[in-house]
Amino acid sequence: MRTRPTLSWSPSGPSLPRTSTLTDVVPIVADGGVLVLSGAGLSTESGIPDYRGEGGSLRKHTPMTYEEFTTSSAGRQRYWARSHVGWRTIARAHPNAGHHAVTRLDAKLSGVITQNVDGLHQAAGSPDVVELHGGLDRVICLDCGVLSPRLDLDRRLREANPAFAATTDEINPDGDVFLPEETVRGFEVVGCDECGGVLKPDVVFFGENVPRPRVEQCYELVGNARSLLVLGSSLTVMSGLRFVRRAADSGIPVVIINRGETRGDQYASHRVDLPLGPTLTELADLVLR
């Protein structure tokens, strides 16, 4: 069963209190056993905009859905042409201060779950990151199930489209970009090297379910944590919000650090509204001094 994609939500009731200090957060993190749940807001300082924050890309971009990708060859052509351009920006992105701060705090963490598909936690050195929505650095064949590196596909697409030279400065968290229809119309899509089947990035598209074993792994991490630290996520989609709800229902403190309201604010024991990079750097300094 496929779910309908949740692209937005509207806050109901008064805004919950937020703080601009880390006073109450430091002892929670210092106590250890912290499970991190990160979202696109953590990667904005690496040049990858989020979906829903100030200037978020959903204001002008409708993400590819699982249904369109699997049922429309024109949709796949459009996606791969645009993603072929966007992948260059994702591949060049570097971890920012927030990612490095999470890595510094590793001894205090029980795990990291990320909703991001950019691989920046791993690039910063965080071990055993659970990629809730998959990763753009690999592709999967929908026919035979073989996984292959995105770099290999990038090479094959370049060979199949030697005259394709589209560029853009606008990138989305899923690696998709906007290109005019006339630009993508002649783009040649390649199939699986093993069976010729349909290739898809190994990420969870809007309207697609996160694999159940991955969900259960995350629930287990929540159950073993002493606190949940949410970083840069609006928690709009249920795939991340459910872990916040589970933590709150279990009496586990939920700390949310994010610019702007989130769908999980009502479950938070502490709510910090500050920029991620400098705030997490300060948090790591205070915890580890």
- Interval 156-178: pLDDT, tens: 999 999 999 887 767 777 888 88
- 235, pLDDT greater than 80: yes
Domain count for the chain:
1
Q: What is the pLDDT of residues 207-232, one digit of tens each?
A: 899 999 999 999 999 999 999 999 99
| Contact in structure between 277 and 98 (CB atoms under 8 Å) | yes
Q: What is the pLDDT of residues 178-194, one digit of tens each?
A: 888 888 999 999 999 99
Per-residue model confidence (pLDDT) at position 169: 67
Q: Which two three-digit tokens encode residue 61?
A: 């971009």
In a domain, 9, yes or no: no
Per-residue model confidence (pLDDT) at position 278: 97
- Annotation: binding site for Zn(2+): 141, 144, 192, 195
Run of H or E including 98: helix 97-104
H helices of 111-177, in order, are: 120-123, 150-160
What mean pLDDT is reported for the chain?
A: 90
- 4, pLDDT greater than 50: no
Q: Indicate the residue type of 289.
A: R
Q: What is the pLDDT of residues 61-79, one digit of tens each?
A: 578 999 999 999 999 999 9
| Contact in structure between 138 and 150 (CB atoms under 8 Å) | yes
Per-residue model confidence (pLDDT) at position 174: 80
Rounded Cα–Cα distance for residues 281 and 86 (Å)? 29
- 5, pLDDT greater than 50: no
In a domain, 15, yes or no: no
- The residue from 84, 99, 121, 133 that is catalytic is 133
Q: Provide mean pLDDT across the span 16-32.
A: 89
Per-residue model confidence (pLDDT) at position 176: 84
| Contact in structure between 262 and 10 (CB atoms under 8 Å) | no
In a domain, 61, yes or no: yes
- Asked about 133 being catalytic, the answer comes back as yes
| Contact in structure between 257 and 231 (CB atoms under 8 Å) | yes
Rounded Cα–Cα distance for residues 112 and 38 (Å)? 8
Closest CA to 154 of 94, 80, 65: 80
In this structure, what DSSP letter does residue 286 have?
H
**CATH code of residue 258:** 3.40.50.1220
Output phi, psi for 138, to 5 deg: -145, 160
Local structure of 81: helix, strand or coil: helix
Structural domain for 265, as ranges: 26-288
| Contact in structure between 207 and 63 (CB atoms under 8 Å) | no
CA angle centred on 243, ends 239 and 247, rounded to 5°: 170
Local structure of 246: helix, strand or coil: helix
In a domain, 10, yes or no: no
Per-residue model confidence (pLDDT) at position 16: 61
Q: Provide mean pLDDT across the span 6-16.
A: 54
In a domain, 34, yes or no: yes
Per-residue model confidence (pLDDT) at position 34: 98
Q: Provide mean pLDDT across the span 42-60.
A: 68
In a domain, 4, yes or no: no
- Annotation: binding site for NAD(+): 39-59, 115-118, 232-234, 258-260, 276
Looking at the DSSP bridge assignments, the partners of residue 257 are 231, 272
> What is the pLDDT confidence band of residue 89, given thresholds at 50, 70 and 90?
confident
In a domain, 12, yes or no: no
- 58, pLDDT greater than 90: no
SS3 annotation, 190-217: CCCCCCCCCEEEEECCECCCCCHHHHHH
Q: Provide mean pLDDT across the span 9-26.
A: 72
In a domain, 65, yes or no: yes
Q: Provide mean pLDDT across the span 228-245.
A: 96
